[in-house]
């Protein structure tokens, strides 16, 4: 099996940083190009976004990517492994 790493947004961190900076969620949403509802879902952890979007949020908040996201290791089956599985 091979593995790749991707990042997931930490919605709670986005909200805490946004509030600490005094930015309204509608203002941050507008900076990033979302609706306020979408940003609310991200902050509540109900929605994950692409790495490019995580980067846009970090830039809009003026923080490093690592401040609002965390790494996730995703395992992928290799072709050799899947070829040995019995057909069902």
Going by C-alpha positions, the residue among 78, 62, 68 that lies closest to residue 4 is 78
If you search the block for the tokens 């099996």, which residue do you land on? 1
This prediction's pTM: 0.79
pLDDT of residue 75: 80
pLDDT of residue 33: 95
DSSP 38-73: HHHHHHTTS----HHHHHHHHHHHTS-GGGSEEEEE
pLDDT of residue 3: 73
- Give the pLDDT of the chain (88 residues) as one tens digit per residue: 567 888 999 999 999 999 999 999 999 999 999 999 999 999 999 998 999 999 999 999 999 999 999 998 888 766 555 556 556 6
pLDDT of residue 74: 82
> Which domains does the chain carry?
2-79 (1.10.260.40)
């Amino acid at each position: 099996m091979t593995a790749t790493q991707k990042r997931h947004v930490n919605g709670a961190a986005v909200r805490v940083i946004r509030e600490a900076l005094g930015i309204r969620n509608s203002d941050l949403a507008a900076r990033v190009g979302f609706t306020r509802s979408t940003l609310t879902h991200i902050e509540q952890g109900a929605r994950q976004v692409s790495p490019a979007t995580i980067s846009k949020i970090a830039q809009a908040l003026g923080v490093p990517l690592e401040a609002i996201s965390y790494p996730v290791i995703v395992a992928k089956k290799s072709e050799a492994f899947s070829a040995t599985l019995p057909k069902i």
